[in-house]
Structure formats: structure tokens, C-alpha cells
């Protein structure tokens, strides 16, 4: 309904609340406006009066929108709230991230102790550059998703695929580098130019390179896992608002009671 | 900002309230009271507040939402999304909310009883005859 759409667009513009909570509030307003309008119509009010009264009762004023912003706290509080919520409700994800972090720490220590740290090859720099790109992309996506989700125009989950892509590239580059090192050792051995010390040094360098690639990939995968959940939540909430705005008045439904079929917790549209 | 300082019924602990806070607490009380019997959607709460108070209170311009979200954040009510036909949010009173409803009703009643006493004395012209309190 056009008049409700205008009210909701105004609310959308004035509501300073982190996503996906912001979209949930708009969705709540949209469904309440429609239901209130129906209720007034059922009581015999004409269309115009029903619309007018619904907007007067539930059309949020700028002061109300500002108060909602204060109620839902600062952006940083929103971020911390979401991070804590993620840990509480998705133990599995939290454990995977923890394991990834531990593996990354062990990997970083192994790389630091390996010849790769003392004598970095071009392959080492290539893997580090890819990991750096991934870290930058993760940071940019994290800032966009947690701090400025309103400015996201692209499909957030799709744009996050750059992170697993870069993780794969890290592993590939390190594997290629390791193969080149091993091929060099094999070539030297074939021409009788290497002793056991050179052989073991080369193997250690290849292993260090492989560990560096895997460690970088693990870190990027952990970041991707955390951000993907957030991106999905933002997408779901936005889709729900779009659906509500596009549908206008939906089919009449009776109010469901807590615990009945069709009743879900708030987490379902996070 | 208009502040009022009210003595509790025992006269032992004075309570300072600004009128905005009093208004907010009344609104919260009415919302909690509306949910006393059953879970409701936001629009039903707004309608019921108007009906239950026989039009004396109307939560206009979306005032309902900050109240609901604040009460939800404080654990007095709980919101759930339902998906019958389309997504809607309904609220129900928690045990903490039920306790708060009783306490707030008692506390605000005491404040307003005291105010009514004072106003009655003003009306009868006997206010000055009493010794100053607080």
C-alpha cells in the first residue's frame, strides 16, 4: 500500500540501528501497519480513515526513530552483541573458528621456525601477498557488514566468496612453491650437486611453504565463516523487508500463540 | 523539565521523578498490563491500550515500538516471529515482566495516591494548614 510504503521509507531513512536489527524493526512496523489497517476496516471504518488512523498510531515519528536508535545502543555495542550472540547460538561455528585459530597459531610458529622465515623465496612473498589481500578483503567486508550495512549494495554473501577463493590461491601458491623447491633438489641430486644437508634444508623449506599456505588459508576460512553468517542475516532481513513492501496487503492470518506451529524465535530471521 | 518529589507512603524514602519518566513508566505499565493474559502483536497492544483505558491513553506516532523494544531488552517481555501467511512479531510477558508489572503498579499507585491527596488538600484549601514535609 502506497501510503504505508511512504511511511516505511521515511522510517527506513531515519532509523539509525545496526543491521539486521534495523530491517527487523521495519518489517515489524510494516506488518503491524497492515494488520491495524485490516482491523480498522473490519470495524467498519472506510479505507481512508482506516489508513489515517493506522498511520497516526504506528507511523513512527523522527523522535520515536531516534529513541529506537538509543534503545538499540551504539554500533560498537551492536557489533559486540552480534559477536556474543553468534558464539552463544552457534557453538559449532565458534568451535570451528577456535580450532582454526589454534591451527593458525601452531602454523605461524612452525613457519617462524622454518627456513622460509630466514630465507623467504618469491613463493613465500606470493603466498603472503595473497594472504594480505584476503586479510584486507576480510577487514573491508567486516567493516561493511558490522559497521555500515546500510551502504552495502551488492549481494553480501556472493561478494564474500573472494575469501575462500584467496584461501585456495594461498594453498595453491604454497604447493607450487614447494614443488618447485623439491624439483630443484631433485635436479641437483640428479647432477650430483647436493648432499644430505641440502636435501633436508630443501624439504624443510618446502614444508614451511606448505605450512604457510595452509595457515593463511585457515585464517581466511575462519574469517569467511564468521562473516558469512552475518552476511546471510543481513540478506535475510533485507529480503523480508523487500517482500513486505512488495506484497502490500498479504493474506489474512490469525495471530499465532507462542509455541504453536509456525511460531519461530527471533533468531530465524537473523 | 518538570520534576516532582514525592514521599513514599511510609514517608521514609522520597522519590524524585520527572514528568517524562512518569509518562514513560505509565506507558510501560499499560503495555505490560495488555500482555498479562495472552501474547499479542504490536498493533493489538496499541489497540488494547486505547480500549482498556477507554481512550484516555493512545500510543501515537509509533511510541509503542521504543517501549516494546526497551521492555524486550530488559527481559520484561519476549518477542517471537510467527510465519503464518507472513512474518509478524508477537510479544508475551516473561516472569520478570509479570513481577515488574506488580511492582510498577504498586509504585505508581503510591505516587499517584499521594499526588491525589495533595490535590484534594489543595482543592479543600487545607494544604497550608499542614506542616511542611520532606
- Each residue's pLDDT tens digit, A203-246: 888 888 888 888 888 888 888 888 887 887 777 777 777 666 66
With CA atoms as reference, the chain B residue closest to A252 would be: B85
What pLDDT score was predicted for residue B96?
92
> What whole-number distance in Å separates Cα of residue A243 and Cα of residue A24?
12
* CATH number where B37 lies: 1.10.10.10
CA distance B25 to chain A (A): 15
Residues of A in contact with B87 (CB under 8 A): 27, 31, 240, 244, 269
- Determine, yes or no, domain membership for B33: yes
For chain B, list residues whose CB is within 8 angstroms of any CB belonging to chain A: 38-44, 46-47, 58-66, 69-70, 73, 79-90, 92
The count of domains in chain B is 1
What pLDDT score was predicted for residue A91?
66
ipTM: 0.78
With CA atoms as reference, the chain B residue closest to A263 would be: B82
**3 state DSSP class of A150:** helix
> What whole-number distance in Å separates Cα of residue A236 and Cα of residue B88?
15
- Each residue's pLDDT tens digit, A57-97: 888 888 888 888 888 865 555 554 454 444 445 566 677 67
What pLDDT score was predicted for residue B92?
94
Residue A26 CB contacts under 8 Å (≥ 6 apart), including other chains: A8, A11, A12, A15, A241, A244
What pLDDT score was predicted for residue A193?
67
- Determine, yes or no, domain membership for B125: yes
Q: Is B62–A29 a contact, with Cβ atoms under 8 angstroms apart?
A: yes
What domain range includes position B24?
A: 3-129
**At B123, is the pLDDT very low, low, confident or very high (cuts 50, 70, 90)?**
confident
- Determine, yes or no, domain membership for B20: yes
- Determine, yes or no, domain membership for B62: yes
What pLDDT score was predicted for residue A117?
77
- Determine, yes or no, domain membership for B134: no
Residues of B in contact with A65 (CB under 8 A): 62
* pLDDT surpasses 60 at A266: no
- Determine, yes or no, domain membership for B55: yes
| Residue that has been written with the C-alpha cell 520532606 in this structure | B134
Amino acid at each position: 500500500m502506497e501510503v504505508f510504503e511512504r511511511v516505511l521509507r521515511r522510517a527506513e531513512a531515519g532509523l539509525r540501528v545496526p543491521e539486521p536489527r534495523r530491517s527487523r524493526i521495519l518489517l515489524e512496523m510494516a506488518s503491524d501497519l497492515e494488520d491495524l489497517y485490516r482491523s480498522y476496516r473490519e470495524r467498519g471504518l472506510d479505507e481512508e480513515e482506516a489508513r489515517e488512523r493506522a498511520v497516526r498510531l504506528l507511523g513512527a515519528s523522527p523522535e520515536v526513530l531516534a529513541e529506537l536508535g538509543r534503545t538499540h545502543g551504539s554500533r560498537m555495542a551492536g557489533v559486540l552483541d552480534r559477536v556474543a550472540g553468534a558464539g552463544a547460538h552457534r557453538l559449532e561455528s565458534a568451535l570451528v573458528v577456535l580450532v582454526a585459530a589454534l591451527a593458525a597459531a601452531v602454523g605461524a610458529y612452525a613457519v617462524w621456525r622454518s627456513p622460509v622465515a630466514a630465507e623467504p623465496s618469491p613463493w613465500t612473498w606470493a603466498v603472503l601477498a595473497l594472504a594480505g589481500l584476503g586479510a584486507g578483503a576480510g577487514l573491508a567486508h567486516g567493516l561493511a557488514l558490522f559497521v555500515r550495512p546500510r551502504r552495502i549494495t551488492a549481494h553480501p554473501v556472493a561478494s564474500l566468496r573472494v575469501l575462500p577463493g584467496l584461501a585456495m590461491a594461498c594453498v595453491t601458491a604454497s604447493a607450487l612453491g614447494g614443488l618447485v623447491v623439491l624439483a630443484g633438489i631433485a635436479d641437483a641430486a640428479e647432477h650430483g650437486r647436493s648432499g644430505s644437508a641440502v636435501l633436508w634444508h630443501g624439504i624443510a623449506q618446502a614444508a614451511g611453504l606448505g605450512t604457510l599456505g595452509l595457515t593463511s588459508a585457515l585464517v581466511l576460512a575462519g574469517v569467511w565463516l564468521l562473516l558469512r553468517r552475518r552476511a546471510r542475516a543481513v540478506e535475510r532481513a533485507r529480503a523480508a523487508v523487500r517482500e513486505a513492501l512488495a506484497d502490500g496487503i498479504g493474506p489474512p492470518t490469525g495471530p499465532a500463540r507462542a509455541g504453536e506451529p509456525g511460531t519461530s524465535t527471533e533468531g530465524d530471521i537473523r | 523539565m518538570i520534576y516532582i518529589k514525592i514521599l513514599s507512603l511510609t514517608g521514609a524514602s522520597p522519590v524524585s521523578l520527572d514528568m517524562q519518566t512518569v509518562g514513560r513508566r505509565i506507558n510501560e505499565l499499560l503495555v505490560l498490563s495488555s500482555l498479562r493474559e495472552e501474547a499479542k502483536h504490536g498493533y493489538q497492544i496499541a489497540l488494547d491500550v486505547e480500549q482498556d483505558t477507554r481512550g484516555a491513553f493512545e500510543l501515537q506516532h509509533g511510541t509503542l515500538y521504543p517501549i516494546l523494544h526497551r521492555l524486550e531488552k530488559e527481559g520484561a517481555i519476549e518477542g517471537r516471529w510467527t510465519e503464518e501467511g507472513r512474518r509478524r512479531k508477537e510479544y508475551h510477558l516473561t516472569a520478570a515482566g509479570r513481577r515488574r508489572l506488580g511492582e510498577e503498579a504498586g509504585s505508581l499507585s503510591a505516587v499517584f495516591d499521594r499526588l491525589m491527596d495533595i490535590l484534594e488538600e489543595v482543592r479543600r484549601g487545607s494544604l497550608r494548614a499542614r506542616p511542611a514535609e520532606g
